[in-house]
């Protein structure tokens, strides 16, 4: 079966409405309760300025980057975000950060596009941005019961680090991997529109 055409790229600052709409769509997913730290209701109450700042920050790429999968008709069907973390800070769960690293969050692919490699392309784009930022380690938290996500992340080279904790949504497993900053040239566009 051929994968539907799409391309992966970074968000632009003026796309805040699409950033918001994609997040709200992801939060409707049946697995959202064990995949995301906020509810659809909470996200829908955020003001326009929040979404404008989120899109602008991701587009600037200084401390965060968001990659999206976009179909030929401009529909966004997947996303992954990277957050730079530095030693001495605390992450979004309030846990101390020991390494300069990228924390991959907000990974989501529309159900009709799953199982076709899109998550791999989204994460690869985030990791390319992280490598260009000089980061040599990537990590993510995944709910202990979210086996589908664990399998997808393992396919992308992430392995359990041995860190487990009880977070806001239950038992979480840290999965991590090293990055080769010497061979990655930064963020890139993955274009599957020409695939046979």
State residue 173 phi and psi, 5-degree precision.
-115, 130
Give the pLDDT of residue 5.
85
Considering the entire predicted model, what is its pTM?
A: 0.88
Alpha carbons 149 and 35: distance in angstroms, whole number: 9
Q: What distance in Å separates the CA atoms of residue 153 and residue 158, rounded to the nearest whole number?
A: 5
Residue 103 lies in a domain: yes
Q: Which of 149, 132, 44 is nearest to 82 (CA)?
A: 132
Task: State residue 65's pLDDT score.
Answer: 97
Q: Is residue 141 part of a domain?
A: yes
Mean pLDDT of 81-97: 94
Inside any domain, residue 195: no
In this prediction, residue 190 carries a pLDDT of: 53
pLDDT in tens, 23-77: 999 999 988 888 899 999 999 999 999 999 999 999 999 999 999 999 999 999 9
Residues comprising the chain, all counted? 196
Contact 144, 118 (CB under 8 A): no
Residue 196 in domain = no
- Say yes or no to pLDDT of 192 above 60: no
Give how many domains the chain has, as a whole number: 1
In a domain, 193, yes or no: no
Q: Is the pLDDT of residue 181 over 90?
A: no
Residue 167 lies in a domain: yes
Q: Please say if the pLDDT value at position 187 is more than 50.
A: no
- Output the domain CATH number for residue 119: 3.40.630.30
Specify the DSSP element, H or E, that contains 167: strand 159-167
Residue 189 is assigned to a structural domain of this protein: no
Name the residue range of residue 26's domain: 6-184
More confident residue, 195 or 146: 146
* Per-residue pLDDT tens digits for 102-161: 999 999 999 999 988 999 999 999 999 999 999 999 999 999 999 999 999 999 999 999
Does residue 184 have a pLDDT over 50? no
In a domain? residue 190:
no
């Amino acid at each position: 079966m051929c994968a539907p055409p799409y391309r992966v790229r970074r968000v632009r600052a003026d796309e805040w409405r699409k950033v918001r709409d994609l997040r709200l769509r992801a939060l409707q997913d049946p697995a959202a309760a064990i995949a995301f730290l906020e509810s659809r209701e909470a996200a829908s109450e955020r003001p326009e300025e929040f979404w404008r700042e989120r899109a602008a920050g991701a587009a600037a790429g200084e401390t965060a980057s968001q990659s999206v999968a976009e179909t030929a008709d401009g529909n966004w069907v997947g996303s992954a975000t990277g957050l730079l973390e530095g030693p001495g800070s605390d992450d979004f769960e309030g846990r101390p950060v020991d390494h300069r690293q990228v924390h991959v969050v907000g990974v989501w692919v529309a159900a009709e596009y799953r199982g076709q490699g899109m998550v791999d392309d989204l994460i690869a784009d985030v990791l390319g941005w992280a490598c260009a930022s000089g980061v040599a380690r990537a990590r993510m938290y995944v709910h202990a019961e979210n086996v589908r996500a664990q399998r997808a992340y393992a396919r992308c080279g992430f392995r359990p680090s041995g860190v487990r904790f009880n977070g806001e949504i239950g038992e979480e497993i840290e999965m991590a991997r090293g990055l080769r900053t010497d061979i990655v040239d930064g963020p890139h566009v993955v274009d599957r529109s020409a695939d046979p």
